Amino acid sequence: MSAILGHNYIAGARSAAGTQKLQSRDANSGQALPFEFIQATQDEVNSAAEAAAAAYPTYRALPAEKRAEFLEAIADELDALGDDFVALVCQETALPAGRIQGERGRTSGQMRLFAKVLRRGDFYGARIDRALPERKPLPRPDLRQCRMGLGPVAVFGASNFPLAFSTAGGDTASALAAGCPVVFKAHSGHMATAEQVADAVLRAAEKTGMPKGVFNMIYGGGVGEWLVKHPAIQAVGFTGSLRGGRALCDMAAARPQPIPVFAEMSSINPVLVLPEALKARGDAIANELTASVVMGCGQFCTNPGMVIGIRSPEFSSFLERLTGFMSEQPAQTMLNASTLTSYAKGLEHMQAHPGINHLTGVAQDGNQARPQLFKADAQLLIDGDELLQEEVFGPTTVVVEVADKAELLRALHGLRGQLTATLIADEADLSAFADLTPVLEQKAGRLLLNGYPTGVEVCDSMVHGGPYPATSDSRGTSVGTLAIDRFLRPVCYQNFPEAVLPEALKNANPLGINRLVDGEMTRSAI
């Protein structure tokens, strides 16, 4: 493991012009670790954005194969980080070594997956409509379209995934794959981890001959505003709180040149338990659901924060079992003191609400989060109660009992946008409640059947997004290969000669990719 300097990364070099110091801390004890980091000055933030802008023309023009080699080199460097690195991440986040090792594999796997995307070429979206000079009364010109990277991207690291949603996480991987240099804002909860990963990225950039400003990283609180407002930045990737994401959206929209913000923010991920499933396996569902709620101390953006069911003897029995299972769950250490404070405040708000009852859970005490279970009046959901729909980030969930199917549908219409919605159902339920799916399709980005949402597969088909406030733009995903779409834009070439067309649009199809040519999909030359 390389020595930790605590300096910002600008154009391949280190910079420490500021005087304000930030302290890394042990997540379990709260004690200071022997690592200090220098908060970036506004000039350094500007320099980082300008370095990314200077790298953009060269990096965007590289063949997709070269960018793929860069991503694979990053993956190799991440995999080479040793046990001392894993121990450091555990120290900063209180996450177990097995979780970190798995997350590192996911992070390097994302890089390799995007390398495959670059090689297969579908990200270009190549379309060709050849000239029709004989068309009357107006001839059609030769029109060709493909997609290219937007420009420098600002990426904000998440607290709960120090690798997979952080320095070299999905936003960084998809932006680099799209041909967009990155300026990364390190999360204060794992700054030493961020430095080790940034070193790995820069080693990969050096080995593969990337331009110096292809990856930059800054430290500090409040520096994100300078970054988002810098005119060189052309898009933002963010995973975090609704408050933080909305602030970035407002900043970006208020710029002289507004830019898109792809923010993943807040979701309660409702789980609907239907009658026949409860009759067949209510105890097992209660046990499985409890495990999902407390997994990783509830620190997943897909944590099931709401359970909805229809009043019946079976539902009453299920709720009794769920309460029992939740009462047996131990306290766990959260990512950092700030996360624990937010969790405690969220619980206080729930307990103070007249329409929400506390079912089980020991009062918060000490530096660990204690699991909690609540039950809310269904009318709160129907009326769109704000507090009921606010994510409480931690090991807790709220049960909503509805009177019948009609009230269930009204309650679902009251839901805000979600990352996930889950149906626990048997075959008879799917038939009797077939009209639930169209409603849930309007509410969530990923629908699950007889599974639990606290696992996000990284693949071509995954959607980790959804209507606001789950994300700021429901048309995108921050996990899976379609994440690259967020950082691409289409460009059309009219009557350009073959010699100056992008490779993806040349008649000979030198990249050998699928293209839409005169309305037909083909890999052939034309």
Smallest CA-to-CA distance from 505 within 525, 483, 485 is with: 525
Q: Of 50, 301, 391, 401, which one is the catalytic site residue?
A: 301
Q: What is the DSSP letter of 469?
A: T
Between the CA of residue 40 and those of 10, 92, 166, 200, 220, what are the distances in Å? 10, 21, 18, 21, 6
Per residue, the 3-state secondary structure of 306-318, as one string, reads EEEEECCHHHHHH
- The answer to whether 201 and 215 are in contact (CB under 8 A) is yes
- Integer Cα distance of 460 and 439 in angstroms: 25
| 239 backbone dihedrals φ, ψ, rounded to 5° | -130, 120
- Integer Cα distance of 111 and 131 in angstroms: 39
The bridge status of strand 270-273 relative to strand 418-424 is: parallel
Amino acid identity of residue 473, one-letter, is D
Amino acid identity of residue 447, one-letter, is L
Residue corresponding to tokens 């709620």: 293
Catalytic residue status for 264: yes
Q: Of 69, 264, 401, 407, which one is the catalytic site residue?
A: 264
Cα-to-chain-centroid distance, residue 271: 21
- The answer to whether 436 and 407 are in contact (CB under 8 A) is no
Angle, helices 97-120 vs 83-93, to 10°: value is 110
Q: What is the DSSP letter of 168?
A: T
- Integer Cα distance of 232 and 33 in angstroms: 35
Q: Provide the token pair at 112.
A: 């390799």
Q: What is the DSSP letter of 472?
A: S
For every residue of 130-178, DSSP letters joined together read: --BTT-SSSPBPPEEEEEEE-S-EEEE--SS-TTTTSTTSHHHHHHHHH
Residue corresponding to tokens 């070099």: 13
- Integer Cα distance of 429 and 51 in angstroms: 57
Beta-carbon contacts of residue 127 (< 8 Å; ≥ 6 apart): 144, 145, 146, 515, 516, 517
- Integer Cα distance of 4 and 38 in angstroms: 12
Q: Provide the token pair at 234.
A: 């052309």
Beta-carbon contacts of residue 435 (< 8 Å; ≥ 6 apart): 409
Angle, helices 313-327 vs 275-294, to 10°: value is 10
Which spans in 363-487 are helix H? Answer: 378-382, 405-413, 427-432, 436-441
Q: Provide the token pair at 405.
A: 């199917």
145: β partners: 127, 492
Active-site positions read: 264, 301
